[in-house]
A and B are shown apart, each in its own frame.
Chain A
Amino acid sequence: GQQLNQSPQSMFIQEGEDVSMNCTSSSIFNTWLWYKQDPGEGPVLLIALYKAGELTSNGRLTAQFGITRKDSFLNISASIPSDVGIYFCAGQLNAGNNRKLIWGLGTSLAVNP
């Protein structure tokens, strides 16, 4: 099925460093979502973006909805060990009544204390 291009695939950083990951698509989306998945758990919504150009922060997290509506990035500032996990981007077409999300393959983040 259709997937988003998410990069990088994995990152290994030192505690305190900033992190940036992004997703691109050949299709236009009306909504971009960023999720984090801890081991043994389902993904949890971090940030939702609903308008092109929108920049939204949630604590140390900042995400932007690209102006072309085909991309989004997520930044994590001053990383801490609990940031470890897999981060997924997802795009939502909102075509008609279909709210099915299109997912990236994830960015695996490891933080060295």
Chain B
Amino acid sequence: GAGVSQSPSNKVTEKGKDVELRCDPISGHTALYWYRQSLGQGLEFLIYFQGNSAPDKSGLPSDRFSAERTGGSVSTLTIQRTQQEDSAVYLCASSSLFYGYTFGSGTRLTVV
């Protein structure tokens, strides 16, 4: 597609349940990033995929968070045993080699 697509746009889940967030990057973009943005806050880096290299997972806040990128394209961010502090907007972005990111519109996650 023309832009970065994220689904679902909104997700309400019960505390303790697992959730999966999906990101479809721009075709041909080799780099993919996940960020978290809490209400009124800046962007918190979570994980970065670059081509076939091992992902940079240094931003994942706990072992309940994991992400995969299949076939160098679609990525899934999984949060296990969700907690209320996980509530935030999860943003995905992709980039080509020579330019800045293009962001998706995000998934607003609410843990109740």
* In the complex, chain B residues 65-112 whose Cβ is within 8 Å of any chain A Cβ: 91, 93, 95, 99-106
Contact of B42 among A31, A88, A92, A99 (CB under 8 A): A88
Asked if residues B100 and A33 are in contact (CB atoms below 8 Å), the reply is yes
Cβ of B41: which chain A residues have Cβ within 8 Å of it? 105
Cα A40 to Cα B31 with chains together (Å)? 23
Question: Is A14 located at the chain interface by the 8 A CB criterion?
Answer: no
Q: How far is the CA of A96 from the CA of B23 in the complex (A)?
A: 25
CB–CB A48/B99 < 8 A = yes
Establish whether residues B93 and A42, one from each chain, have CB atoms under 8 Å apart when the complex forms.
yes
Chain B residue at minimum C-beta to C-beta distance from A98 = B56
Decide yes or no whether B62 CB sits under 8 A from chain A.
no
Chain A interface bracket (under 10, 10 to 19, 20 to 34, 35 or more): 20 to 34
Residues of B within 8 A of A45 (CB): 99-102
Q: How far is the CA of A31 from the CA of B98 in the complex (A)?
A: 10
Picked from B45, B93, B99, the residue with its CB within 8 Å of the CB of A1 is B45
Q: Which of B4, B31, B44, B100 contacts A42 (CB 8 A)?
A: B4
A103 touches B59 (CB 8 A): no
Interface residues in chain B, defined as those with a beta carbon under 8 Å from any beta carbon in chain A? 4, 31, 33, 41-45, 48, 50-51, 53, 56, 58-59, 91, 93, 95, 99-106
Q: Which 10 A-B residue pairs are closest in the complex by CB-CB distance? A: A42-B103, A105-B42, A33-B100, A103-B43, A45-B100, A42-B91, A43-B103, A48-B100, A106-B42, A100-B48
A binding-site residues for B, Cβ under 8 Å: 1, 3, 31, 33, 35, 40-45, 48, 88, 90, 92, 97-101, 103-106
